């Protein structure tokens, strides 16, 4: 049996990280293979989530895989969830600041505001639609990975938040 290959992780500056990913249309062997590569790459990098654009594939697919580790010792343990064509349906009106890192932004940890809970919808690898409410750290991972599908990294997210804060304070954004 052949071992599952990992892929290089795209780093800030790589154009694939700044484009809106295309919807997944074919639920086939290629999608399963991509998911296996994503999972192997995420596990090797000790991540708690990874999006297809992070390995150079501009498709709307990511994995949410919360588990305690050295970067997130208080993270809840869950089975990894493959989410194809995910959509954020709604989010709590309450936001929480939390420190986030990113496999594509090595060496940086930034404080990012995210919804405390979200209602989301996604497809599985067979194309079946699922929905549910995600809370806390798992909701944070979903929102972080969804940003990747929309061409947003932590750097852009923090810049967007700074501009929104400045506008709310009546300042002229840069």
Over its C-alpha atoms, the chain yields an Rg (Å, rounded) of 16
What is the mean predicted confidence (pLDDT) over 103-110?
A: 92
Active-site annotation holds for 156: no
Question: What average pLDDT is seen over the chain?
Answer: 90
Q: What is the pLDDT of residue 163?
A: 53
Task: Let me know: does 24 contact 51? Beta carbons within 8 Å.
Answer: no
Label each residue of 84-109 as H, E or C: EEEEEEEECCCEEEEEEEECCEEEEE
CATH level 3 topology of 15-168: Peptide Deformylase (3.90.45)
Per-residue pLDDT reduced to its tens digit, 153-171: 988 888 666 555 445 555 5
Q: Say if residue 165 carries a ligand binding annotation.
A: no
- Size of the chain, expressed as the number of residues it contains: 174
Q: Where do the structural domains in the chain lie, given as residue ranges? A: 15-168
Per-residue pLDDT reduced to its tens digit, 34-56: 999 999 999 999 999 999 999 99
Give the pTM.
0.90
Give the end-to-end CA distance of the chain in Å, rounded to a whole number.
Answer: 55
Active-site annotation holder among 94, 145, 156, 171: 145
């Amino acid at each position: 049996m052949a071992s599952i290959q990992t892929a290089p992780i795209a780093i800030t500056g790589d154009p694939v990280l700044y484009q809106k990913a295309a919807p997944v249309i074919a639920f086939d062997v290629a999608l399963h293979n991509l998911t296996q590569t994503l999972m192997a790459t995420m596990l090797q990098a000790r991540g708690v989530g990874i999006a297809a654009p992070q390995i150079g594939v501009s498709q709307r697919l990511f994995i949410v895989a919360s588990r305690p580790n050295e970067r997130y010792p208080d993270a809840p343990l869950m089975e990894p969830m493959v989410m194809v064509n995910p959509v954020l349906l709604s989010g709590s009106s309450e936001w929480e600041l939390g420190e986030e890192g990113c496999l594509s932004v090595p060496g940086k940890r930034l404080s990012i505001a995210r919804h405390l809970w979200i209602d989301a919808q996604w497809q599985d690898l067979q194309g079946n639609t699922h929905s549910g409410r995600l809370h806390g750290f798992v909701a944070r991972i979903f929102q972080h990975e969804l940003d990747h599908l929309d061409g947003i990294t932590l750097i852009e997210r923090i810049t967007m938040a700074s501009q929104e804060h400045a506008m709310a304070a009546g300042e002229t954004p840069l």
